[in-house]
């Protein structure tokens, strides 16, 4: 890397408990140290701060939402407040390996986007390394499952080009965003595993109400597919997708994002 570049790390929190500390410590242990970690308590009735009370690093920002809105609302708030140069997701129950930021910044220099595989830990105790192959294929009209953000890094400019974070979704928008990023420009991919993902019982991914096979998830997928295909058509006619995503966000909801972003901005 030719110069120092700041990384905003987003960590929305809800009902994860003491696992939060492991995730935060994995950020503190990064070899690349020019980062700021924004932990958002998404109105958990038992706030998480007790688990990290003794971690006084000034780069850690603690922020409370008064109403539970979901991770993409929190992401939208953080993005609007910080206007990041580089963006990294860190779920509060996952682990980033020590060289994640350092290595991904190097990989991303040509495209503004870097992704690599996860080490996935299943609930039953088995594990595997996720497939990076889909990242290397061109975007298609039928949206592809890309396994979430993974331990990657995305420039703020590439996120803006893809329309940013849609605060109206509670599940699965990360996958749509990644497809929009692939649609609107090249991405860089590495074979190196830079993080570990741990599946938990009763999480958004595994619970009966919101899990991968739930009726709720199927309804969200239908909405997501409709937005993707609208964005696909618009991109091939006009060369951009951001206006399509923004038009899909109700004005009142976007004003709520701006109000919370102003609150967060005062803590930065």
pLDDT score of 205: 73
Lowest-confidence pick of 69-83, 111-125, 136-150, 167-181: 136-150
Q: Please determine, for residue 71, whether its predicted confidence score (pLDDT) is greater than 80.
A: yes
pLDDT score of 218: 87
137 DSSP 8-state letter: S
Q: DSSP characters for 7-30?
A: EEEEEEESS-TTHHHHHHHHHHT-
Question: Under DSSP, is residue 262 helix (H, G, I), strand (E, B) or coil?
Answer: helix
- In terms of pLDDT, which residue wins out, 250 or 2? 250
pLDDT score of 97: 96
Superfamily holding 7-265: Spore Coat Polysaccharide Biosynthesis Protein SpsA; Chain A (3.90.550.10)
pLDDT score of 152: 85
Percent of the chain with pLDDT over 90: 69
Average pLDDT, the chain: 89
Half-sphere exposure (CA, 13 Å, Cβ side) for 192?
17
Percent of the chain with pLDDT over 70: 90
Helices and strands, number each (H, E), in the chain = 8, 11
- When pLDDT is cut at 50, 70 and 90, the band that residue 4 belongs to is low
Q: What is the pLDDT of residues 13-30, one digit of tens each?
A: 999 999 999 999 999 999
Interval 97-102 mean pLDDT: 96
pLDDT score of 139: 67
pTM: 0.92
């Amino acid at each position: 890397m030719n110069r120092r570049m700041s990384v905003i790390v987003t960590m929305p929190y809800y009902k994860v408990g003491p696992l939060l500390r492991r995730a935060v410590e994995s950020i503190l242990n990064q070899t690349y140290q020019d980062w700021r970690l924004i932990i958002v308590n998404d109105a958990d009735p038992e706030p998480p701060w007790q688990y990290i009370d003794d971690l006084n690093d000034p780069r850690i920002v603690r922020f409370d939402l008064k109403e539970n809105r979901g991770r993409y609302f929190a992401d939208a708030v953080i993005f609007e407040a910080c206007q990041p140069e580089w963006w990294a997701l860190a779920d509060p129950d996952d682990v980033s390996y020590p060289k994640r930021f350092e290595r991904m910044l190097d990989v991303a220099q040509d495209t503004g986007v870097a992704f690599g595989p996860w080490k996935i830990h299943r609930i039953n105790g088995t594990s595997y390394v996720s497939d990076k192959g889909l990242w290397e294929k061109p975007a298609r009209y039928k949206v592809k499952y890309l396994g979430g953000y993974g331990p990657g890094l995305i420039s703020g400019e590439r996120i803006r080009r893809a329309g940013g974070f849609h605060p109206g979704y509670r599940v699965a928008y990360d996958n749509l965003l990644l497809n929009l990023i692939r649609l609107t420009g090249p991405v860089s991919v590495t074979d190196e595993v830079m993080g570990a993902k741990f599946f938990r019982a009763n999480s958004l991914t595994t619970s009966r109400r919101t899990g991968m096979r739930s009726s709720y998830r199927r309804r969200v997928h239908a909405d997501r597919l409709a937005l993707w295909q609208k964005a696909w058509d618009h991109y091939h006619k006009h060369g951009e997708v951001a206006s399509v995503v923004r038009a899909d966000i109700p004005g009142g909801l976007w004003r709520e994002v701006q109000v919370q972003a102003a609150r967060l901005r005062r803590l930065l």
